[in-house]
Amino acid sequence: MENQFYVDSKYLSPEALARKHRLETDPSSRADHMAYLPGMEVISSDVCEKVMSQMEAYDYTKYTARDVRAALDHETCSIEDFKALLSPAAEPFLERMAERARRETSRHFGNTVYLFTPLYIANYCENYCVYCGFNCYNHISRMKLDMEQIEHEMAVIAGSGMEEILILTGESRAQSDVQYIGEACKLARKYFRMVGLEIYPVNTDEYRYLHECGADYVTVFQETYDQAKYETLHLLGHKRVWPYRFDAQERALLGGMRGVAFSALLGLSDFRKDALASALHVYYLQRKYPYAEMSLSCPRLRPIINNDKINPLDVGERQLCQILCAYRIFLPYVGITVSSRESARFRNGIVKIAATKISAGVSTGIGDHETKYTGKEDGAQKGDEQFEIDDARSLETMYQDMSGEGLQPVLNDYVYV
């Protein structure tokens, strides 16, 4: 099987290596990816069925230039219109789509652009997701910050002026349990106005606990909505359970979170179908929870430590731009976040068309903000990065650059009530 992902570490024991190879080559050695594990909450929801039936029926080759023109002429973008805008037939209309997207963005968000930064507090992981730098078979420097270290990191970040933080962990309940993440949220409330979480999916009561600790926004990437493909990429661990992940946003809302964020990791599977499913996931949940805030991200695959061959395949910048314009036209009210995986050039351009939120001062490593922000080598242990970022601009530079692009940078648009 052609694969850009499999890398064997020389540090693995023969037994571990044998198990890894078995997981990679023998599907019968893997757990059922559609079966919930003990302890995983099952909620009753029709959202998944709605999204998946649309995605499965989506044949983007049947759309023509005429459908795209009609979609662009409609005042309200229907699901059919959105499908046309995501299709290859829309590629020649990219500039027109960008113009329409820009109007929608401007109407709903003005010329503002929100800035935030991620904070990785641990990179232990129990999953084997073949494209991820944190995967359990990848030999990297592992680390989990204690509360003192977390507070230090937060103080350094807050000192740069940042007011919104996104707390991330690797997916290990054993190493970074819900209590640990909750304590980090409580600390974050001291330093930041807005606290978001991007952690392993949890149950409703756990989301409620984390909300009470100060978190108010939950990001979960589905990675790919293509269940068969998902199965071949997430070979081991609780993340392998596709439906539990799908319902994470809904559980977060049931747990009292104000908002939720969604995404597929573009490049893993058919990106047009994944983009359709991501947006419909937002669309149907918004209909069910109209008071919830929603946002979409659009990460593309990036190289990781020990594997520089990973790349976003057929999702070039033009395709990414098409997806983002289609998202904006279909869902004019949702936030769109573009991560530091993308270049400064791309991000400067896309914030003027469709994106409303970008990260700055980013590190995807553990415990290295002071070194990265000040250049000061403190000799302390660091944990390795999840992936390589492209746009390494600091908050200060980003603030200046965004102002220079004629945009109004916003550091906070939020009050925790």
> Binding residues for another protein, per CB under 8 A?
106-112, 161, 163, 193, 286, 290-294, 333, 399, 408, 410-415, 417
CB of 145 to another protein, least distance (A): 24
Non-local CB neighbours of 141 within 8 Å, separated by 6+ positions: 381, 382, 383, 384
The least distance separating another protein from the CB of residue 28, rounded to whole angstroms, comes to 45
If the CB atoms of residues 322 and 359 are measured against another protein, the closer one turns out to be: 359
Tell me whether residue 137 or residue 399 sits nearer to another protein (CB atom): 399
Q: Are 370 and 152 in contact (CB under 8 A)?
A: yes
171 close to 135: Cβ distance less than 8 angstroms? no
Token pair in block for residue 134: 């944190």
Q: What dihedral do alpha carbons 301, 302, 308, 309 form, nearest 10°?
A: 20
For residue 86, give Cα distances in angstroms to 25, 47, 83, 298, 333.
34, 21, 5, 14, 18
CB of 258 to another protein, least distance (A): 8
In the numeric block, which tokens belong to residue 307? 């594997």
Q: Nearer Cβ to another protein, position 163 or 370? A: 163
Nearer Cβ to another protein, position 230 or 262?
A: 262
Q: Are 147 and 97 in contact (CB under 8 A)?
A: no
112-122 vs 164-169, strand pairing mode: parallel
What are the helix and strand counts (H, E) for the chain? 16, 11
Question: Quick one: 98 or 410, whose CB is closer to another protein?
Answer: 410
Write down the residue that tokens 């939020």 correspond to: 414
Q: Which is nearer to another protein, 74 or 107 (CB)?
A: 107
